[in-house]
A and B are shown apart, each in its own frame.
Chain A
Amino acid sequence: MKRNLPLFFAFFCGLLVIVSEFIPHRPFSLMIDTLQEWFMIISGFAIILGQISLFQSNINKIKQKDSGWMFYLAGLISFILMLIVGMFWGTQETGGLFGHGTALQARLGMKPFDYLFEFAYMPLSSTMFSLLAFFIASAAYRAFIIRSFESNLLMLTAVIVILGRTSFGSMLTGWLPQGLRFWHLPNLSDFIMEYPNSAAQRAIMISAALGIIGSSLRIILGIERSYLGSDK
């Protein structure tokens, strides 16, 4: 029963979604609307589930003094702090339990939640994203090595695209006459992105889409069950 009920739901809802994709008539149109509303409600409640898990796993690690437990404590304190200031004084236009916190706003220049968001959360997040630039540089340094004809081609393409994406690149070949504009680096770079790149991307996308159809069909028909925790 524990396994059969989810399998029945997967079969019924899966089939319903497919059928309603092609049949606009009631009751299918109404049923799919209801399913969509259910999904939105469940997704909303699932956020609470995540918060509970966050609390449980962090508190356990702090209690057991796991290695690096201070980090978990810091994470938990940050979470509670943001939650409290958001609940008490709200964010931007929205008020909280204690109104808009005018006195605090006057001191900080904005609401406490917005203050933390702008001066703590935003710089920290941007720092994480900016790591990408460093990692791209080190990965490029390792990866674009000429070993074979293919790697040669790869490197040549990379050089054209990198140059084409800079202002320096457009300056470098900006003098080319109108007849030779195709060879202008930004144009060449756009050409590579639009044709060879898109062709490869589309091939992967189409085959992945077929994989998705197959996987979905296996799930709907109950052939694929391991996502439920068991293949039996």
Chain B
Amino acid sequence: MKGLLLTTLLFLIVLACYASPGTMNVQDVPWDEGKALNITWQTPADSIILQRADSLGVWQTIFSGPALPAAYSDRDLIPNKSYSYQLIAIGSADTDTLIVRASAKPREQWFYMHKLSFLIILVIVSLAILIYIQRARMGKEFYIRRISGLDSMEEAVGRATEKGKPILFVPGIGDLDDIQTIASLTILSQLAQRSAEYDTELIVPCRFSMVLSAAREVVKEAYLKVGKPDSYKEERIFYLTDDQFGYVAGIDGIMVREQPAANFFLGSFYAESLILAETGFSTGAIQTSGTAQASQLPFFVVSCDYTLIGEELFAASAYLSRDPQQLGSLKGHDFGKLLTIILILAGVITEIVGWHWFKAFFEGVQ
């Protein structure tokens, strides 16, 4: 009796499997801009055809292939519009073709949940910076360690003035959307003021036109600030070429022909860093470099007298201006570093313990 029941049950299960019309589920992708739907299906068929109804209601094939892995993500949809899908499950020769239909609306969300960890870190670091800026405004004095690369600016300008030779300033090979270039221009502003005070010529070759117009503005304002607008020579801040090594060739030519007494290489640099620095070294100029491009730092360290390493480039403006607000923001960076160290240690510990959620949270796993 038991055997008969079991056999009947098994027969029913098998029948149910084969007779099942298959299922399809269409769901909005969570926490996104509302342009995607996730479609999943279950069918015993080997291959499927997935179709979406277009605006006229005509079915258009969007996927055709094996039934596994039983999931498809339809993207580039219009948010809040209803979409209908039909799944055609193609069985083997002796089974019928099955059709299942479903529809759903992709919805726009108000937050990318997988970026929550980034937001938390950004808010904490930004708050720390703002708090320290506020404290600086209230009169709190902050200590900043000596950065010899920036102290050398006076020495470099002095030497150029003594020799009657120009100063060369290279703002890197990055465009204006690179924050290193902007940091470089803030230093250029300070350098231009000093060179204007001493009546020393300043040469600024640029790789990008947007950097050119910003550099011209920066130098012009610096000359105005020290009351020497007539000494400003626009033609000494010029565009060379967009081409990486053409730019380097142009600068090398300037170094060899005009023999600047001081060279400043500050900004974003790549493979050209050593070519620039070594040519400058061969002309005997006093050289200051700085970049956040870690791979190029060794080359600068070898060939330049002073090198600003990584974040020192971004601290330059605060260091040179001694503006308490800017110095306060540097303290905020230090807090950020402390937070990073704590997070790294916490990450190592939680991974060892086996709490992988911590790493996944900061990786931004969707």
Residues in A lying within 8 Å of B, measured CB to CB: 18, 21-26, 29, 39, 42-43, 46-51, 53-54, 56-57, 60-61, 67-68, 71, 124-125, 128-129, 131-132, 135-136, 138-139, 142-143, 200-201, 204-208, 210-219, 223-224, 226-231
- Residue B220 CB within 8 A of the other chain: yes
Interface residues of B in 209-259 (CB under 8 A from A): 209-210, 212-214, 217-222, 225, 235, 238-243, 245-246, 248-249, 253, 257-258
Q: A22-B115, A24-B108, A46-B210 are in contact. Are A227 and B182 (CB under 8 A)?
A: yes
Contact B238 A54 (CB under 8 A): yes
Q: B23 near A: Cβ within 8 Å? A: no
5 closest Cβ pairs, A-B complex? A229-B221, A211-B314, A50-B209, A24-B33, A211-B311
Chain A neighbourhood of B323, CB < 8 A = 223, 231
Number of A-B contacts (CB under 8 A): 206
Identity of the chain B residue whose Cβ is nearest the Cβ of A206 in the assembled complex: B340
Q: How far is the CA of A229 from the CA of B221 in the complex (A)?
A: 5
B195 within 8 A of A: no
Given contacts A21-B112, A204-B310, A218-B329, 9 further A-B contacts (CB under 8 A): A24-B31, A24-B110, A25-B108, A125-B243, A128-B246, A135-B279, A211-B314, A213-B333, A214-B314
Structural contact, A226 and B321, CB atoms closer than 8 A: yes
Q: Which residues of B contact A57 (CB under 8 A)?
A: 235, 238-239
B190 partner residues in chain A, CB cutoff 8 A: 226
CB pairs A–B below 8 angstroms (14 shown): A24-B31, A24-B34, A54-B240, A56-B235, A135-B275, A139-B274, A139-B302, A205-B292, A207-B310, A208-B314, A210-B340, A214-B333, A215-B314, A230-B221
Using Cβ atoms and an 8 Å threshold, which residues of chain B touch A43? Answer: 175, 210
The answer to whether A135 touches B274 (Cβ under 8 A) is yes
Dominant secondary structure at the A interface: helix
Q: Given A208-B310, A214-B330, A49–B209 Cβ distance below 8 Å?
A: yes
Interface size on B, residues (CB 8 A): 87
Residues of B contacting A18 with CB < 8 Å?
122
- CA–CA, A113 to B109, complex, Å? 51
Most buried by A among B79, B239, B275: B239
Q: How far is the CA of A57 from the CA of B203 in the complex (A)?
A: 12
Q: Which of B125-133, B143-151, B162-170, B355-363 contacts A (4 or more CB under 8 A)?
A: B125-133
| Cβ-neighbour of A47 out of B209, B278, B294 (below 8 A) | B209
Tell me, yes or no, whether B111 is within 8 Å of chain A by CB: yes
Given A23-B110, A211-B310 in contact, is the A223-B179 Cβ separation under 8 Å? no
Cβ 8 A contact of B333, one of A22, A29, A210: A210
Minimum CB distance partner of B210 in chain A:
A46
A216 to B115, CA, bound (A): 19
Is the Cβ of A227 less than 8 Å from the Cβ of B214?
Answer: yes
Given contacts A50-B209, A230-B225, A231-B323, contact A204 B217 (CB under 8 A): no
Determine the chain B residues whose CB is within 8 A of the CB of A29 once the complex forms: 33, 108
In the complex, B197 has a CB within 8 A of chain A: no
B218 near A227 with CB under 8 A, answer yes
B332, CB-defined interface residue at 8 Å: yes
Q: Which residues of A contact B72 (CB under 8 A)?
A: none
Per-residue CB contact flags for chain B residues 309-337 toward chain A (1 = under 8 Å, else 0) read 11101110100010101100110110011
**Would A210 and B337 be within 8 Å (CB), given that A50-B242, A132-B271, A218-B329 are in contact?**
yes
Q: In the complex, A46→B246 CA distance in Å? A: 19
User: Are the CB atoms of A142 and B302 closer together than 8 Å?
Assistant: yes
Q: Are B212 and A53 in contact (CB under 8 A)?
A: yes
In angstroms, Cα B217 to Cα A51, docked, is: 18
A131 to B183, CA, bound (A): 29
Does A125 lie within 8 Å of B245, measured CB to CB? yes
| B297 beta carbon closer than 8 Å to chain A | yes
User: Which residue of A is nearest B247, CB measured?
Assistant: A128
Instruction: Find out whether the CB atom of B185 lies under 8 angstroms from the CB atom of A50.
Output: no
Q: Quick check: A208 and B126 within 8 Å, CB to CB? A: no
